[in-house]
Amino acid sequence: MTAENLINGIPQERRLTTAIPGPKSLDMQKRRVSAVSGGVGMTLPIFIERAGGGVVVDVDGNSMIDMGSGIAVTTVGNAATEVAAAVTEQVERFTHTCFMVTQYENYVDVCEALNRLTPGDHEKRSALFNTGAEAVENAVKIARHYTKRQAVVVFEHGYHGRTNLTMAMTGKNQPYKQGFGPFAPEIYRMPLSNPFHDGLSGADAAKHAISRIEKELGAGNVAAIVIEPIQGEGGFIVPAQGFLPALVKFANNNGIVFVADEVQTGFCRTGAWFACEHEGIVPDMITTAKGIAGGLPLAAVTGRAEIMDAVHAGGLGGTYGGNPIACAAAMASIGIMEQQDLNAKAKNIENVMVPRLKKIAEDCGVIGDVRGRGAMIAVEITKPGTDEPDPDMTGKVAKLCHSEGVLVLTAGTYGNVLRFLPPLVMPEHLLDDALTIIERAFKEATA
């Protein structure tokens, strides 16, 4: 094994030593079932012992290629050396003070970095939280406080989290909402631009959504428009060009706070610091989490200073928000992104994956659309020759990938999207190997 084939001391290889799941995972799964709430789901019933670079290694010694990054979180790699060192240094000095009680410098460091890296050169402020849902909730709180309006516009197929407010904002019943109502009021869902299905130009799709907002709500009642610039759980739907800029213009003209939910798309995932950059739009507020801190729980709202500072002192916060260990991890992660130019790495992943997936699409006949940007790439699986979703085929392909040691995730309102979110430090030979397995899985599933 050569040195470059080791990351974190872990061989960068796909290696199956047992069936998936193996005997040790099966044993732990029995304990899991009797100890952990059945309401917490899992993609694959295996238990991980170590992870790094492009692999996760389970308790049976199986080394799986990680095409999910724990849902777009371990962008800089799992247990990245610099992140582990920064966390260790911080955890030995102090673990917590509560930033609302006594302050510490790395909270400010993270806010400065967010203000510098997010789109737009206007004066900005940030506030830190623990989860994506919490960031989205706070963005809505701030926008409502600032505008003195209540209505919040969201979009079809959107996903914003699992708390009461963000469930209301999420556009998919199963599994996120079923039986969990009543949901928060004043949330209005509008049609998205979804080029594979609606065939509309960005301008026409925006005209349609804006007209609905004007007629159904009245623009003057809307506090915020909240949208994922590329939808994550919704199935990596990239709106047609011009859709987002038209919404931003409408928001700006009507005193509406435009919020880009970049919890999944942010921090180099799409080959740019933020996905808004691909359309040249500048949101008033941006929510981030997932990829920000190399696996530690951290989230943020960053926005125009006049909006963020409008809230009275004490109106925002939380016991753990911006925990110093998570902040140390974030600063180390951002350092890796800058030093290793992870935006370039994400673009390279796109350049490797898209042609191979398009070839698979031609050969197998069940892939209706290959889409996404950077290291956020998906295939939508449809009944041949139609745009009708085929979730059974999607599950079958995912299962075949898992049994061969490639961890893939599904997505989409109809569960018919296979999505790929590799760590940006994924060695290219592993990416190639994963694509070979994916190709074989489609061949076998459609045989």
Give me the residues that bind ligand PLP (CB under 6 A), please.
131-133, 136, 159-161, 228, 232-233, 261, 263-264, 289-290
In the complex with ligand PLP, the residue whose CB is nearer, 119 or 132, is 132
Write the single-letter amino acid at 442. Answer: F
In angstroms, the CA 59 to CA 121 distance is 48
In the complex with ligand PLP, the residue whose CB is nearer, 46 or 133, is 133
In the complex with ligand PLP, the residue whose CB is nearer, 65 or 263, is 263
In the complex with ligand PLP, the residue whose CB is nearer, 139 or 328, is 139
Q: In residues, how long is the chain?
A: 447
Contacting residues for 262 by C-beta, under 8 A, at least 6 apart: 228, 229, 274, 275, 276, 286, 287, 288
In angstroms, the CA 376 to CA 100 distance is 36
- Least separation in angstroms between CB 393 and ligand PLP: 24
Contacting residues for 87 by C-beta, under 8 A, at least 6 apart: 296, 325, 328, 329, 332
In the complex with ligand PLP, the residue whose CB is nearer, 66 or 390, is 66
In the complex with ligand PLP, the residue whose CB is nearer, 25 or 264, is 264
Give the count of beta carbons closer than 10 Å to the beta carbon of residue 18.
16
Nearest to 92 by CA among 84, 100, 80: 84
- Least separation in angstroms between CB 131 and ligand PLP: 4
In the complex with ligand PLP, the residue whose CB is nearer, 158 or 405, is 158
In the complex with ligand PLP, the residue whose CB is nearer, 327 or 441, is 327
In the complex with ligand PLP, the residue whose CB is nearer, 56 or 167, is 167
- Least separation in angstroms between CB 132 and ligand PLP: 2
In angstroms, the CA 422 to CA 70 distance is 9
- Say if CB 295 and CB 83 are below 8 A apart: yes
In the complex with ligand PLP, the residue whose CB is nearer, 169 or 441, is 169
Question: Over the range 410-444, which residues count as b (16 or more CB within 10 Å of their CB) and which as e?
Answer: bbbbbbbbbbbbbbbbbbeebbebbbebbbebbee
In angstroms, the CA 43 to CA 295 distance is 18
- Least separation in angstroms between CB 244 and ligand PLP: 15
The pairing of beta strand 376-381 with beta strand 299-304: unpaired
Give the count of beta carbons closer than 10 Å to the beta carbon of residue 49.
13
In the complex with ligand PLP, the residue whose CB is nearer, 141 or 383, is 141
- Least separation in angstroms between CB 78 and ligand PLP: 17
In angstroms, the CA 308 to CA 329 distance is 24
- Least separation in angstroms between CB 172 and ligand PLP: 12
- Least separation in angstroms between CB 364 and ligand PLP: 28
Return the axis-axis angle of helices 324-339 and 81-93, rounded to nearest 10°.
150
In angstroms, the CA 223 to CA 97 distance is 34
- Extract the tokens encoding 111: 């806010």
Identify the H or E element spanning 437.
helix 428-446
In angstroms, the CA 105 to CA 123 distance is 20
Q: Which residue is nearest to ligand PLP (CB)?
A: 132
Q: What is the DSSP string of 357-381?
A: HHHHHHHHS-EEEEEEETTEEEEEE
